[in-house]
Amino acid sequence: MAGMEGFTPPINAKKDQVAGYKDPTLYQVLRYKGVFDINELYRIIYDWLISKGYVVHESKYKSISLQTGGKEKTFDWQANKKVTEFVMYWMYVHFQFQDIMEVEVIKDGKKVKLQKGLVMVRIEPALEFDFTERF
């Protein structure tokens, strides 16, 4: 899982804006190698953000077919949530999938198509102050 290619940084302070806060040490990285359901992973994280009141935007999506027959996928989400008239929470989620191959697995007596490969999910929080530029 090389680097964070294409990871979208948080929005910087705009003109006349008080500030934003992003601590580079406050992030979580989840790594997994094996068989998984990419659509289920996508849905679970999206549903969790929505249930917590976030509005989610997909800022980047990239898919590359490799010569080995696998795929590499990368996409970024920016989720925000208005906390008060002055503070907004941000969550930046970066997904990176490498060497993805389609596999058929028997689950509950039925054949199911899943993916096999490497997964990395990086979640980084941030705060934005005076996002309405009132002060």
Q: What is the mean pLDDT of the chain?
A: 82
Look at residue 14 and tell me whether its pLDDT is greater than 70: no
Instruction: Characterize the bridge pairing of strands 110-129 and 71-82.
Output: unpaired
State the Cα–Cα distance between residues 22 and 51, nearest whole angstrom: 23
Dig out the tokens for 119 from the structure.
């997964």
For residue 55, the cross-strand partners are 80
- Of the candidate ranges 6-10, 54-58, 107-111, 125-129, the one whose mean pLDDT is the lowest: 6-10
Q: Rounded to two decimals, what is the model's pTM?
A: 0.74
Give 100-122 pLDDT, tens digit per residue. 988 888 888 889 899 999 999 99
- Degrees to nearest 5, angle at CA 44 with 52 and 69: 145
- What is the model's pLDDT at position 1? 42
Lookup result for tokens 């490497």: 118
State the Cα–Cα distance between residues 110 and 55, nearest whole angstrom: 35
User: Domain locations in the chain?
Assistant: 26-129
What is the percent of the chain with per-residue pLDDT over 90, rounded to a whole number?
A: 41
* Reduced 3-state DSSP string for 78-89: EEEEECCCCEEE
Look at residue 16 and tell me whether its pLDDT is greater than 70: no
Give 39-50 pLDDT, tens digit per residue. 999 999 999 999
State the Cα–Cα distance between residues 78 and 90, nearest whole angstrom: 7
- What is the model's pLDDT at position 88? 86
What is the percent of the chain with per-residue pLDDT over 70, rounded to a whole number?
A: 79
